[in-house]
Structure 1
Amino acid sequence: MIGKIISAVVGKKIADRTPGMSEGTGALIGVAAATVMRRMGPLGMLAAAGGTWAVSRAMKKKQARQGASGTTRTY
């Protein structure tokens, strides 16, 4: 129970920093993420961490290329 409360608070904080996401949505995502992480086990958590790292690295490279070329897209 305490873990779900903590994950909801963390989700709310993430929602505060994410444009277009409400606090309630962030809290629900936090609770869902905690439940999923608990069921994945150690190997699944390592796979999730590796995937997160790879996506983060790819996004940083893409931003660096867009910044170097001077063309940024706005949607």
Structure 2
Amino acid sequence: MIGKLIGAAVGREIDRRDGRGGVKGALIGVAAAGALRRLGPLGLILGGGYVAKKAYDRHKERRTMTGRS
């Protein structure tokens, strides 16, 4: 279940980067979920790390836009 959630988050990040949304991110998310399951715990760490880094970068960008350091 956690793998599916991380796969969905990866797909959402792909769609955000693309800017258009649609099926591409969903398909990549499904593929990522399958790959994460096959890699086992290492896959969960890699997928979770990717999503966490994207969230951190987005947070950091918002802080610089508002003028806080």
Query: In the alignment, what sits opposite 2:40?
Result: 41
Give, in angstroms, the shift of residue 33 of structure 1. Answer: 1.5
Q: Which runs of 5+ in 2 are unaligned?
A: none
Deviation sequence 1:18-50 (CA, Å, 0-9, x none): 54022x323312321221111221123123213
**Which amino acid in structure 2 is aligned with residue 28 of structure 1?**
L
C-alpha change, 1:55 and 1:31, in structure 2 (3 Å) is closer
Aligned 1:1-75 pairs, distance under 5 A: 14=12, 18=16, 19-22=19-22, 24-68=23-67
SS at match of 1:26: helix
TM-score, normalising length: structure 2 = 0.53
Q: CA 1:44/1:60 → structure 2, altered by over 3 Å: closer, same or farther?
A: same
Q: Which has the higher contact order (CA 8 A, sep 6+)?
A: 2
CA root-mean-square deviation:
3.1
TM-score (norm. length: structure 1): 0.50
Unaligned runs of 5+ in 1: 1-5, 70-75
